[in-house]
Amino acid sequence: MSEDSHHVAWADRIGLNKQWARDIQTCGDAFGSELYLTAVRRLKNDIPDIKNGPQLKTMIKKFEDGELKEFKEDVFEQWRLNFEQESRNESFVAAKRNEINLLATEELYKYIIQLLEDNGFCFYDANIETDTME
């Protein structure tokens, strides 16, 4: 096997590719409904840091704590500046935050899909003889 060769790692032997495919399908089916937030959260929950591979969970966390948090704050601040009267009403604020969370969830989903695609959807350099689940 050449140094550039890739094979399915132990993670796929426990069914992550199938689980991710089901989760992605569920997200697509739930898009536009109340179940979408839960579907994306489940997809995110099913993504680990891969031993001897990409630290997918960590990358998602960094995206959430960085770009996504900034996105949510910027969108809310723009709304607050443009709708001063409404931004003083707690129910309007709560509704806007819910709307922003839905937009942020869409961005998170797109990020996760791109991350999985960029990292070969669970294919990476690994050595079956020495990799363990420790």
Q: Alpha-carbon distance 99 to 103, whole Å?
A: 6
Q: Alpha-carbon distance 122 to 79, whole Å?
A: 39
- State whether residue 74 is helix, strand or coil: helix
Question: Could you count the other beta carbons within 10 Å of the beta carbon of residue 12?
Answer: 19
pLDDT at 134: 44
Average pLDDT per block of 10 residues along the chain, 134 residues long: 49 73 95 95 94 90 98 97 96 96 97 92 51 45
pLDDT at 81: 96
What are the structural domain ranges in the chain? 7-121
pTM: 0.79
Q: Alpha-carbon distance 115 to 121, whole Å?
A: 8
pLDDT at 51: 80
Closest CA to 28 of 12, 16, 11, 40: 40
Spatial neighbors of 111 by CB under 8 A, at least 6 apart, are: 60, 63, 68
Q: Which sign does the torsion angle of CA 77, 80, 83, 89 carry?
A: positive
